[in-house]
Amino acid sequence: MPYVYILECRDTSFYVGSTWDLERRLSEHQEGLGAAYTRRRRPVRLVWHAAYDSVAEAYAMEKRVQGWSRAKRIALIEGRLDDLPGLSRRGQAAPLVEVRVERASEQPPHALD
């Protein structure tokens, strides 16, 4: 199942990505085998993820969230979905694709089973 995820980096910046295997990808980021962005900002912490039915939906959401402001990403992480349209840079947000949202726990990535 494809996932979109948000990591909070050591410097409090966010990294948005997508993957088929969330646990493996988180491990790669922690070991410095992930994106160059996170490699320089370890450790990272999973703060949000959502499962999608198709790669196309996951990729579209990844690209959408990558364009969002920090405030809008925080609203998503905190589950304040009603706030998202008001935080849009254009004043009107595209409708969110219906997804199964799973908030990341404070547990390490290996506990996502």
Domain borders along the chain are 3-103
For 60-101, write each residue's pLDDT tens digit: 999 999 999 999 999 999 999 999 999 987 655 455 555 555
The CATH class that applies to domain 3-103 reads alpha beta
With a threshold of 0.85, does the pTM exceed it? no
Express each pLDDT in 23-33 by its tens digit. 999 999 999 99
Cβ atoms of residues 66 and 34 within 8 Å = no
